[in-house]
Chain A
Amino acid sequence: MDITRQVEQLLKQGRVDIFLGYKELYGHLIPHGYTLDNLEELENLKVSQHRYSLEKVATHLVEKKPDLKIGIIARDCNQRALNILYTWNQLNPENIETLGVNCCPSKTRKHGDCSYLEPKKTGEFKKENGIDFNAEPEAFMAEFDNPERFSHWMYEFNKCIKCYGCRNVCPVCFCPECSLENPDLVEPGSLPPEVPIFHLIRATHMAGRCVDCGLCEDACPAEIPLRFLYRQMNQIVGDVFGYAPGEGIEKSPFTIIGDKVTLEPKPMDV
C-alpha cells in the first residue's frame, strides 16, 4: 500500500488526529499537517529531500493539546530523535505513529532522499585553519597537538553569529529555559558570543542526547562543524556509559533527576 493510502487509513481509523508529512508549494517541499478536515489535500502528500524536524513540530502540537495523536513521516534520523523525546518524556510513544521512509543505506536504494547523505564540502582555507566537516576524529587528534586543535576550534567558534539556529532547529533541544540565554553563563550582547564557552555548553548538553541528524550544521550560517563536535562528545558517552543516543528508548545515563540511574558507568581508562 502506498504511503498516501496508509495515512488515509490512519486518519480514518482515528489512530492519528493529524499526520505530519510534506507537500509541494510554489516548487518548495515544505512540512504539512494532514487531518480529516483536509483529506482531499492528501493527494499532495510528498516525501521530501529536504529534512525538517517533524518531531519538533509534534512537540509544539502536544504543548497545545497533550493527548493529541500524531502521525509522522520518519526517516532514521527522525526516529532516533523521537526515541530521545520519548526517553525525556517530551512525547508519549503511545500517541505517536510513524511511517518509515527510505533512508540510506536501504535495500531498495543506495542513496536516500535526503541532503544529509551528500557529504558537505570543505574549502582549502577551512581545512588549513579550521576543521574539515568530514574529518575523522582519530585523524584529527593524531594530526594536531592540543594547542593546535584549540586554535582550529577557536577559528571555527569565532565565526559564530549567535543566531541560536543550532538550538532552535535541534529536535532534542526542548528546555523551557535555555542555558545559552542565561546571562550568568553567556554574556548577553557580545558578538561573537563568549567562545568557546557558548559552544561547549551546547556540546555538553548534547552528551547523551544528540542523534547526529545534522540539522544544526545545516542551519549554521557560520559553517561551524557542529556535528563533529557533538560526535566527539558522544564518543565519550559511548566509551563511558556504553550508551548511543536515539538507538533505543531505554533511560539515558543523564536522566538522573528524581530517577534511579539504570545504566552503570563503566570504569574509565585513564
Chain B
Amino acid sequence: MNCKFVPSVCSYCGTGCGVLFEVIDGKINATLPLKSHPVNQGKLCIKGWNLHEYINSFMRLKGPLVKEAGRFQKATWDEAVNHAAKNFNRIKADHGPDSIGVLVSAKVTNEENYLAQKLARAAIRTNNVDHCARL
C-alpha cells in the first residue's frame, strides 16, 4: 500500500487555488487544500474540494472523439486535429476568417491562453477571441 500527496492547482476557475491530491495506490482518493499556498492559504470552495470526483468520473473524456455519421467515434490525436483543421479551413474559405471565434478559458494557463489567441490571430486570422469570464 502506498500513499502520497501531490500538489497541484485547481483547474475549475481563474483563482488558481493550491490543492493536494491524496493518492492511494496510484488512485486519487481525495482533494485537500494546500495549507502553505499563497493564493488560498488552506481554504477551498466546494469545487476545489471535489476535484478528484471529475478526475475519477467514468464519464471523463480520456482521448479525442470525432463525430461521424452523427455518432462520436474514438480517434487518434492526429486524426482529430486533421479533422478539425480541415473543417476550419473549409469554413474559412467559404465564409471568411471572421466566421470563426476562439473562446479561451480561465481553467487553462496563461501560456495556453496566449497560444490560443495566437492560433486565432495568426493562423485563423480573426480577432474574435474572447474569454469565458465574459460569457
Contact = CB atoms under 8 A, between A and B. Distances in A.
A163 B33 CA distance: 12
Interface in B15-51: 18, 20, 22, 24-25, 29-30, 32-37, 40, 42-46, 49
Given A33-B4, A60-B29, A61-B24, 9 more contacts: A18-B3, A20-B3, A26-B7, A29-B36, A35-B1, A64-B24, A161-B46, A218-B42, A221-B44
Nearest to A53: B32
Nearest to B27: A64
Interface of B: 1-5, 7, 18, 20, 22, 24-25, 29-30, 32-37, 40, 42-46, 49
Contact of A169 (B1, B22, B32, B46): B32
A186 interface: no
A165 B24 contact: no
A163 B24 contact: no
Chain A, interface size category, equals: 35 or more
A30 B5 contact: yes
Contact of B49 (A60, A64, A168): A168
Report which residue of A35, A50, A115, A221 has the largest number of chain B beta carbons within 10 angstroms of its beta carbon: A221
B1 A65 contact: yes
Chain A, interface SS category: mixed
Contacts, number: 82
A61 B1 CA distance: 8
Contacts of A168: 49
Given A52-B35, A165-B33, A169-B32, A220 B5 contact: no
A60 B46 contact: no
B45 A163 contact: yes
A57 B22 contact: yes
Interface string A31-52: 1110101100000000000111
B68 to A, nearest CB: 38
21 contacts: A20-B3, A28-B18, A31-B5, A33-B1, A37-B2, A50-B35, A50-B42, A60-B22, A60-B24, A60-B29, A61-B1, A162-B46, A163-B44, A163-B45, A163-B49, A165-B33, A165-B49, A169-B33, A219-B42, A221-B43, A221-B44
A17 B34 CA distance: 26
Nearest to B42: A218
Contact of B32 (A25, A27, A52, A115): A52
A63 to B, nearest CB: 9
A73 to B, nearest CB: 14
Given A65-B1, A219-B33, A30 B44 contact: no
A38 B3 CA distance: 11
Contacts of A29: 36
Contacts of A27: 36
Given A50-B36, A60-B24, A219-B33, A161 B5 contact: no
A233 interface: no
Interface in A208-222: 218-221
B32 A218 contact: no
A42 B32 CA distance: 23
A29 B20 CA distance: 11
A143 B2 CA distance: 52
